[in-house]
Amino acid sequence: MTNAKPTSAAKPKPWTEAATHLVDVAMGRKPADLVIRNGRWVNVHSGEIIPRTDIAIAAGRFAYCGPNAGHAIGQGTKVVDAGGRYLVPGLCDAHMHVESGMVTVTEFCRAVIPHGTTSMFIDPHEIANVLGLPGVRLMHDEAVAMPINVHVQMPSCVPSAPGLEHAGAELTVADVAEAMTWENIIGLGEVMNFPGVAANDPVMSGEIAETVRAGKTVGGHYASPDLGLPFHGYVAGGAEDDHEGTRAEDAIARVRQGMKAMLRLGSAWYDVAAQIKAVTEGGIDPRNFILCTDDSHSGTLVHEGHMDRVVRHAISQGLKPVTAIQMATLNTAQHFRLEREIGSIAPGRLADFLIVSDLAQMTIDEVYGRGVRLAKAGKLEIDIPAYDYPPTAKSTVKLGKRLKAADFDIAAPQGANEVRARVIGVIENQAPTRALEADLAVEDGLVAMDRRNDICQIALVERHRGTGGVTNAFVSGFGYVEDCAMASSVAHDAHHIIVVGTNKEDMALAVNRLSEVGGGVVLYSKGKELALVEMPIAGLMSDERAEIVAAKAEQLTEAMRKVGCSLNNAYMQHSLLALVVIPELRISDVGLVDVTTFQKVDLFI
């Protein structure tokens, strides 16, 4: 006798091979594998909730959806009484990065399946920035092995801003063309180089053309409030969606231009409430609005949820439950040209569905994927074997030297007693930053931090080629009040090491510690390690279980609070400080970058 959990069913046959069997089941000539009786059918095609509905499932697909599936019940058919509960299509995350969860694709799936996610569209551009095309292939192959639908978008911008940063790898038009032939590539990942698209950069236009030739979807990323000619040029360049909007007018502009407005609620990005007003107050047709998470860390997944959390939030902002569910199911499926496979409870589609007892609160009692029950009462019921990453995906943190406190010294201009410096300003719960300025004192020829005014030091340490390079600058918004430093090898998008601190000795200790463990995130205070989340896979992902990683992440969050940081999900804010494609001011291995002009700028004014 074994206590092992059952494994999920094999991937269903294509509809073309299963269709005749589905017809026989629908006609009552053959028995269904599973029949769910007496449910309230949340029909995302018609916008109705239809009571007293039965659904019959065969070969991992829906065969019959109607008032009475008794004719499909035979010997061997499993029958489940829904008891008047809601039958909801499995939820889809239209745009997200697995690496932001700090875990592998396998562990991400283990974490989100109990929350009703049965389809994900992942953009592995984090691992691509470290390992290039081979890294994308690793995550692609892992995704294929999952018991739910994990489709992969080929990363488009590695590096994200050529000339303004140096990543660990570089992807070309030829790489994109090759990836478009892989079985599980669904399209091109977010095209972040929006100035390049507007300027007809040959790499950007070439990648988009290869994707369109393959008949696949081009993901967008227009991270600018300017809705003038640069926006129109970007749309004309081929992007089909965008998740970077933060205002209602952003969502409206995208939909009017034929794009899909993706509204995200991640661990630190709260962009649904403002943009959903385009629908609830502006009356814009919701069919072109899609919900997604973008970035969710393991603590959010384990303790708060995934797409169920996003749908619940959207409903709380005034959307009808069916409309919110459409935005997380059918709208997503249609956008990726998968309407015949996923996104609804309808004949022929994969039998991905939820049994929900409270629709507005998205209380999920049971989760089914491909006709197999995957989770019940918030607990995973299947076994998903761990995916083994090769040694080439590890040991990727290469500093070239052991850092010392002096590596973080910022020399003042000759003879200066005070300097006016540029400061990166963190905006809570948003990806953009502010370009601030501050007058800072000079002590013994070195520029001093100003902890009283919440200005501490930030440094980017090169970690791909062992150059020993350190870029120093200043940041505001974390609220640290103690001697401390937090370092992370997750630093979107080039993924060097970012360290933020009030004490240079702690900054050196934190960076060196990441070199020892192969990457992750660590917090030091007064020479003592307070928290550590090891992420040895490309310096981006842990090889431990999601709940273990979540516990370590919670310890990190608590440690950050103890040293004065009160930001919501400050780790996520920290990890984006080098993202040189989102305004206004960022840091890279090249220096400080003004992302409103896409130019390197001096630290001192």
d(CA 180, CA 201): 20
53-108 confidence digits (pLDDT tens) = 999 999 999 999 999 999 999 999 999 999 999 999 999 999 999 999 999 999 99
pLDDT above 70 (res 111) = yes
pLDDT above 70 (res 263) = yes
Confidence of residue 230 (pLDDT cuts 50, 70, 90): very high
567-593 confidence digits (pLDDT tens) = 988 988 999 999 998 899 999 999 999
Average pLDDT, the chain: 95
Q: Where are the domains of the chain?
A: 91-338, 393-601
Domain spanning 91-338: CATH 3.30.365.10 = no
141-168 confidence digits (pLDDT tens) = 999 999 999 999 999 999 988 999 999 9
184-219 confidence digits (pLDDT tens) = 999 999 999 999 999 999 999 999 999 999 999 999
pLDDT above 60 (res 5) = no
Specify the 3-state DSSP secondary structure of 207: helix
424-463 confidence digits (pLDDT tens) = 999 988 888 999 999 999 999 999 999 999 999 999 999 9
d(CA 18, CA 20): 6
pLDDT for the residue numbered 4? 42
The more confident residue out of 568 and 535 is 535
DSSP H helical segments within 240-320, as ranges? 248-256, 272-275, 277-280, 298-303, 307-316
Confidence of residue 297 (pLDDT cuts 50, 70, 90): confident
pLDDT above 90 (res 30) = yes
Write out 86-136 in H/E/C secondary structure. Answer: EEEECEEEEEECHHHHCCCHHHHHHHHHHHCEEEEEECCHHHHHHHCHHHH
CA distances for 576 relative to 45, 272, 438, 581, 605, angstroms? 38, 20, 22, 10, 24
Confidence of residue 37 (pLDDT cuts 50, 70, 90): very high
The more confident residue out of 428 and 347 is 347
pLDDT above 60 (res 486) = yes
Percent of the chain whose predicted confidence (pLDDT) is above 70: 98
Task: Name the nearest CA neighbour of 591 among 249, 135, 56, 166.
Answer: 166
